[in-house]
């Protein structure tokens, strides 16, 4: 049985975060997405832009997965956790590690009395079955939520009142 | 023509925020959703859990609308703005105020060089037409993103490894 040590993300882990973000982007079929350097991640962690957990394989001292989160805010229920990336590297899958990373996130939520843990997933991602087993609600299906985004070009146009 | 003054949210505005959050919840057909007190909002604002803009009607010194946001984080592009509530009170609609509130948010994004402004909207909300005119992408449609959520009961079960 594989053994993992799960700890809070620290600046020293950012090299592994960058590597796993790239791996996850490749899995999501968007390999050109990631733009951040190790130094960017280190600065953003220091500024509390995100927090999270990393799993290290105790057998070979290699990163095995991570849950990277940020603090979101509901005007109904206050601060809550948004899980931005939950990732287990391919060779460490089917070991229960994904669940243990979610357990770490939920412990943090319970300790701090946050009322929600939320995340987004692509509709074709088989992880949805795992999320259903955890008892998570699909809010897009249940309530009809859609995600909208402005990109830099539109942001600049709107900011200068060109739209 | 109606005139509005748009300023950054301060602790004194929290009574209006609470009132508008309730009005918006009623519009969204979920009137029992909001649980936060004025004091909760004041503490959360102080702790940088959220930020935003309020529009006051200059004619009668009444709140007319708001854009309430928090800082989210992309592991591809770094910090970005999530607009949690964009609200214009019914009698102040059709005045361009919604757009001016989005302009205020986009100016903030442009000043700080944030690469995204993002938000969620219910599929039946007529505001979607306005968002399309702004040039926003519907990510749920374009990329297939779905929102999932764990509620307190599940969070507690997972935290204590009962699931």
Record: contact B147-A140, CB cut-off 8 A = yes
pLDDT in tens, A75-117: 999 999 999 999 999 999 988 999 999 999 999 999 999 999 9
pLDDT of residue B29: 84
Measure in Å the smallest separation between the Cα of A40 and chain B Cα atoms: 8
Q: Which B-chain residues 109-128 have CB contacts (< 8 A) with chain A?
A: 109-110, 114-124, 128
- ipTM confidence: 0.95
Class of residue B152 by CB neighbours under 10 A (exposed 0-12, middle 13-18, buried 19+): middle
Do residues B64 and B97 lie in contact, with contact meaning Cβ atoms separated by under 8 Å?
yes
Residue A155 and residue B110: Cβ atoms within 8 Å?
A: yes
Q: What's the predicted TM-score (pTM) here?
A: 0.95
Give the A:B interface size as CB pairs under 8 Å. Answer: 237
Enumerate residues 6+ apart whose C-beta is below 8 A from A126: none
Of A24, A84, A152, the CB nearest to B115: A152
Judge whether residue B2 has pLDDT over 70: no
Of B27, B10, B114, B111, nearest in space to B68 by CA: B10
Q: Which residue has the tokens 């023509």?
A: B1
The beta-carbon neighbor of A103 closest among B122, B136, B159 is B159
In the structure, what pLDDT confidence band is assigned to residue A2 with cuts at 50, 70 and 90? low
């Amino acid at each position: 049985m594989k053994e993992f040590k799960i700890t809070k993300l620290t600046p020293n882990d950012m090299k592994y975060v960058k590597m796993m973000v790239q791996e996850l982007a490749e899995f999501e079929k968007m390999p050109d997405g990631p733009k951040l350097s190790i130094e960017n991640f280190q600065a953003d962690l220091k500024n509390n832009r995100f927090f999270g957990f990393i799993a290290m394989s105790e057998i070979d001292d290699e990163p095995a997965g991570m849950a990277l989160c940020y603090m979101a805010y509901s005007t109904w229920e206050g601060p809550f956790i948004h899980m931005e990336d939950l990732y287990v590297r391919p060779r460490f899958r089917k070991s229960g590690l994904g669940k243990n990373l979610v357990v770490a996130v939920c412990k943090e939520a319970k300790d701090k009395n946050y009322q929600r843990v939320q995340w987004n997933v692509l509709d074709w991602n088989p992880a949805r079955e795992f999320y259903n087993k955890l008892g998570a609600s699909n809010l897009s299906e249940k309530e009809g939520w859609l995600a909208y985004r402005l990109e830099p070009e539109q942001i600049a146009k709107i900011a200068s009142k060109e739209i």
